[in-house]
Chain A
Amino acid sequence: MSLPERQPPTLEVRDLHTRFHTRDGVLPVVDGLSFTLERGQVLGLVGESGSGKSVTGYSIMGLLEAPGRIEHGQVLFQGQDLLTLAPRERRKLQGHRLAMIFQDPMGTLNPVLRIETQMVEAVRAHRRCSTAQARQQALDSLASMGIPSPQERLRAYPHQLSGGMRQRVAIAIALLHGPDLVIADEPTTALDVTLQAQILSEVQTLVRERGTSLIWITHDLSVVAGLADRIAVMYAGRIVEQGTVDEVLDHPQHPYTQGLIGSLPSANRRGQRLRQIIGMAPNLLDMPAGCAFAPRCPRASDSCGQRPDFSAPRPAASGHQVRCHHPGPRQDSPEAHP
């Protein structure tokens, strides 16, 4: 299978370290992150608040602001390291080949400009064309996001649109140039279920048609279950488990992943107590040596004082990796007693 001139993957992150330098100390917000994203693949990057999932997105996009700093690592976009690229060169890619969608569309949209002005500007930033051509491209992009009467929406100001419509416009802007990689940072978290389903369905179709690679950052496992090909679970700046959706959700090996899945209310455990993860996420200023999850982990032992490396726990599973000294199925799951 290994052809000599294989196309490089859309994105390859190697040993990325992003630290925040604050008055109180240095926070290892992203701590040695590595993953690969092939063309047309959807990666669900799952974690709770403070796990570093959004900062990972910002680091890849080059949107990191002080006090954050990428200290180490490589971000290879189609084989080219974005971190060593000159700012000018990098800006040519941002919003063109790479795009980001944020949780709050009002952070993307300028409240005092019509949608048309903003979209035409975004088109002409990367493409030489007349205003009329740019406007047509904006219209097409709005229509592809399933926005009714796009002509009217172009004339509107952001405040005249509903929350769901604003998010669609923000996504339409991100997809204007048909980027190769889209990073979506919880874009549907603030929306109603029906709107979330609409937007997921439209994004899913667009990604499939164009072969775009997508990183969907979320805290909600059930959203990525329906959308992603692969899942990476983050905890305290590190990926603790990654693999295909089926492997990670059906055969989770890391106690944290199992805890997240057990925390979800589900139809067949109605009214029963949810299996909760005890305690809270660690303070990044005062990280436990070794495994960051050990203080909350039911399986913690002395060996957890050492930092665990990735291992592949299930030989049959390709690419399923766990960062744990005691990986294995949940003790009370049927898998544990075959």
Chain B
Amino acid sequence: MTKPASLWPAPPDTALLELEQVSRQFGVAPGATGFGQRMARWLGQPRPPVTRAVDGVSLAVRPGEVVGLVGESGSGKSTLGRMAAGLLAPTRGEVRVRGRALDTLPPAERLAARLAVQMVFQDPNSSLNPRLRVSRIVGEAPLAHGLCEPSALDDYVCAQLQRAGLDPALRHRYPHQFSGGQRQRIGIARALAVAPALLVCDEAVAALDVSIQAQILNLFQDLREQLGLAYVFISHDLGVIRHLCDRVLVMYLGRVIESAPATELFTRPAHPYTQALLAEIPDITQRRSRFSALSGEVPSALNPPTGCHFHPRCPQAMARCRQEAPSLRGIAIQHQVACHLHPSS
């Protein structure tokens, strides 16, 4: 086992994690021309469909920053999160940790880079092994990576659980003996156990009751203050995103359509889709409201609309939107939008 080197030093303004024009396809890549595929096509079988789950997205997370990824189901936000966490390799594009491309790193450094980015999943039932005790779930990775001596492991695990707000006395129990909120804390303790610099949280509070959700959101903020953690926070809940994030990327069918600091995005949304999303945040101060909905649904990523992906649902679509896909352009400081309504300033 290669012992992980600690992360290399970098100038203070270097991004902790950068994704540069990453794309991810599912299905057969267009260039796949193996004999089997050629035969199948010759025999009349249609080419298997290709889904562009993520299509040319760039993302940078600075140390200690919280970046939110918002979008409906099928927008590619989870795929992007998995690429950020190193669980999926991009089909195209480059992932850099502290300025160095992941696929050019020697093994020890690559391991350190992978450990620096950890993931917290939505469903603690399927992301925790039901047959392992909590002490093993949390302690396995630090032991394997040599972050902790076997003799000191028990104390180490206790410290991690305490940090995640769990009673260390419960460490010999199995996941099913915990409530949903506690299981999410186990998942967080497991991620923290390898001393990451960035947590990718994929809908980490979506399955929890509101009172438990508040506890976990407070925990995320405490950890940020104590450990200087950065987050990529993936959620469909704009209320949570607004509460937690410094910067927000709005995704639609695999592309980023707007990116801005959170305060700017929530006060001056520029893209019609963002505006529609914001109008639909349920709010307890709104009574007997008329839910004026964005019509239609997200189209299939197998067969996305031409031009701007959003034009079939857009109330302000023009002829140009059907033909030409808008690129991300800056319209204010750190505020980018991909929409023909906003020519670059």
Interfacial residues, chain A to chain B (CB-CB below 8 A): 48-49, 162-165, 192-198, 200-201, 204, 219-223, 225-227, 229, 245-246, 249, 259-267, 269-271, 273-277, 280
Contacts and interface: CB of A to CB of B under 8 A. Distances in A.
Contact of A165 (B179, B286, B297): B297
Given A194-B293, A263-B214, A280-B181, A226 B287 contact: yes
Nearest to A192: B72
Interface string B230-248: 0000001111101110000
A200 B291 contact: yes
Contacts of A246: 287
Nearest to B285: A225
Contacts of A200: 291, 293
B282 interface: yes
A266 B239 contact: yes
Interface in B205-239: 209-215, 217-218, 221, 236-239
Contact of A265 (B215, B243, B263, B297): B243
Given A197-B291, A226-B288, A261-B284, A162 B297 contact: yes
Given A162-B297, A263-B210, A222 B218 contact: no
B290 A201 contact: yes
Given A192-B72, A225-B284, A262-B214, 7 more contacts: A48-B209, A193-B238, A198-B293, A200-B291, A201-B293, A222-B284, A276-B218
A259 B293 contact: no
A24 to B, nearest CB: 14
B286 A270 contact: no
Nearest to A193: B280
A192 B73 contact: yes
B292 A222 contact: no
B211 A226 contact: no
B73 A193 contact: no
27 contacts: A163-B73, A192-B73, A192-B236, A193-B72, A193-B238, A194-B276, A195-B297, A198-B293, A201-B292, A225-B284, A226-B287, A226-B291, A229-B288, A260-B210, A263-B210, A263-B211, A263-B213, A265-B214, A265-B217, A266-B243, A266-B284, A267-B242, A267-B283, A270-B262, A271-B221, A276-B218, A280-B181
A277 B262 CA distance: 27
B121 interface: no
A225 B286 contact: yes
A47 to B, nearest CB: 9
A199 to B, nearest CB: 8
Given A263-B214, A273-B218, A274-B243, A204 B291 contact: yes
Interface in B285-325: 285-295, 297-298
Nearest to A296: B211
B64 to A, nearest CB: 14
A200 B288 CA distance: 11
Which of A225, A227, A262 has the most B CB atoms < 10 Å from its CB?
Answer: A225
A38 B217 CA distance: 39
A273 B283 contact: no
A149 B210 CA distance: 38
A274 to B, nearest CB: 4
A246 B263 CA distance: 29
A30 to B, nearest CB: 18
B214 A276 contact: yes
B238 A249 contact: no
A52 B243 CA distance: 30
Contacts of B214: 262-265, 274-277
B281 interface: yes
Contact of B239 (A49, A265, A277, A280): A265
B180 interface: yes
Contacts of B138: none
Interface residues of B, number: 46
Contact of B282 (A222, A269, A270, A277): A222
Nearest to A148: B296
A245 B285 CA distance: 10
Contacts of B295: 198
B174 interface: no
Contacts of B288: 226-227, 229, 245
A280 B288 CA distance: 32
A76 to B, nearest CB: 27
B280 A48 contact: no
A162 B298 CA distance: 10
A219 B242 contact: no
A243 B20 CA distance: 53
B76 to A, nearest CB: 14
Interface in B235-273: 236-240, 242-244, 262-263, 266
B92 to A, nearest CB: 28
A164 B293 CA distance: 13
Which of B179, B211, B239, B262 has the most A CB atoms < 10 Å from its CB?
Answer: B211
Contacts of A270: 242-243, 262-263
B289 A226 contact: yes
A48 to B, nearest CB: 4
Interface in B33-85: 72-73
Contacts of A196: 280, 282
Which of B72, B179, B212, B284 has the most A CB atoms < 10 Å from its CB?
Answer: B284
B119 interface: no
A262 B277 CA distance: 23
A264 B238 CA distance: 12
B281 A193 contact: yes
A156 to B, nearest CB: 15
A204 B73 CA distance: 24
Contacts of A49: 180, 209
A193 B242 CA distance: 15
Contacts of B280: 193-194, 196-197
A274 B284 contact: no
